[in-house]
């Protein structure tokens, strides 16, 4: 009964985020593996039912309702609003509407979900994050991901501001994941002072570096794709 009461308390707190979490979030990971969303895009039939945060020396666990899971490799910490306290970037997937990118963090009422992009709209449709950085040099961080890396292959860039997510750029012709892979390839690198997104073309033949310039996504080929070693070289500012 005690366990059931605790689960109910956390579920209600998730519905109206208000869990106390004193101090900045210093760690985030997923918890409570579940098979209730059998997509298997990341190589197995289990996703995650909860997000575990550490802040102010305290651990709190936020439990998703039954129609949601975290379909992701790991949460990502980034101070998206530049207030000195990191937010948590995650991928949430809905039983009927597929994936969305969500931002969790601290607010006046406690810790919980702060903003999210729209769901893709169809069950078993996923997105693969690249990370967060000030991609256009305006002092504000952007978040990038590939929308349906196995199907649509659209690179999307969103900005977290004023309590919401705003899409500022999108372009087709990119991917960073193949069905069954347990990791997400590439990411965001900074070479010679300029952030670039590292991906591949839809055929997995070339490594691409993409910059956000004047509201447009500008790509250039930087070497052939020869597996994960090519991505590691590119992320380390070496020729793949």
Task: Please give the backbone phi and psi of residue 229, each rounded to the nearest 5 degrees, phi first.
Answer: -60, -35
Give dist(CA 5, CA 203) in Å, integer: 50
Supply the pLDDT for residue 109: 78
SS3 content of the chain, % helix, strand, coil (to 5): 10, 50, 40
Query: CB of 153 within 8 A of CB of 176?
Result: no
Give dist(CA 97, CA 94) in Å, integer: 5
Supply the pLDDT for residue 9: 32
Confidence (pTM):
0.91
Mean pLDDT by runs of 10 across the 240 residues of the chain is 35 46 90 97 96 91 97 97 94 98 89 95 98 94 97 97 92 98 98 95 98 97 97 96
Strand duo 164-172 + 154-161: pairing: antiparallel
Supply the pLDDT for residue 19: 73
Query: CB of 121 within 8 A of CB of 137?
Result: no
Which H or E run includes 55? strand 47-55
Supply the pLDDT for residue 6: 35
Is the Cα dihedral 225, 73, 211, 219 positive or negative? Answer: positive
3-state secondary structure of 106: strand
Give dist(CA 81, CA 107) in Å, integer: 12
Supply the pLDDT for residue 106: 87
Task: Write the CA distances from 17 to 42, 44, 235, integer angstroms.
Answer: 29, 30, 36
Supply the pLDDT for residue 56: 82
Supply the pLDDT for residue 170: 98
Distance of CA 180 to the CA centre of its chain: 18
Q: Name every residue whose Cβ is closer than 8 Å to that of residue 34 and which is 6 or more positions away in sequence.
A: 46, 47, 48, 49, 69
Supply the pLDDT for residue 222: 97
Structure tokens that stand for 69 in this block:
């899971």
């Amino acid at each position: 009964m005690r366990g059931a009461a605790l689960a109910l308390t956390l579920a209600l707190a998730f519905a109206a985020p208000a869990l106390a979490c004193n101090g900045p979030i210093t760690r985030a990971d997923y918890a409570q593996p579940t098979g209730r969303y059998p997509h298997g895009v990341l190589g197995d039939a289990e996703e995650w039912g909860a997000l575990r945060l550490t802040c102010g020396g305290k651990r709190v666990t936020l439990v998703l309702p039954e129609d949601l899971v975290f379909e992701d490799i790991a949460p990502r910490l980034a101070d998206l609003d530049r207030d000195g306290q990191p937010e948590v970037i995650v991928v949430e997937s809905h039983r009927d509407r597929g994936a969305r990118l969500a931002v969790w963090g601290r607010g006046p009422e406690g810790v919980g979900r702060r903003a999210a992009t729209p769901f893709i709209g169809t069950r078993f449709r996923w997105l693969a994050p690249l990370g967060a950085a000030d991609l256009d040099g305006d002092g504000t961080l952007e978040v990038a991901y590939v929308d349906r890396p196995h199907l649509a292959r659209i690179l999307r860039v969103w900005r977290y501001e004023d309590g919401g997510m705003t899409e500022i750029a999108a372009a087709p012709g990119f991917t960073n994941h193949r069905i069954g892979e347990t990791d997400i390839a590439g990411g965001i690198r900074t070479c010679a002072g300029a952030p670039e997104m590292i991906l591949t073309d839809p055929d997995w033949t070339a490594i691409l570096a993409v910059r956000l310039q004047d509201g447009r996504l500008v790509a250039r080929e930087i070497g052939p794709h020869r597996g994960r070693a090519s991505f590691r070289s590119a992320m380390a500012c070496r020729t793949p």
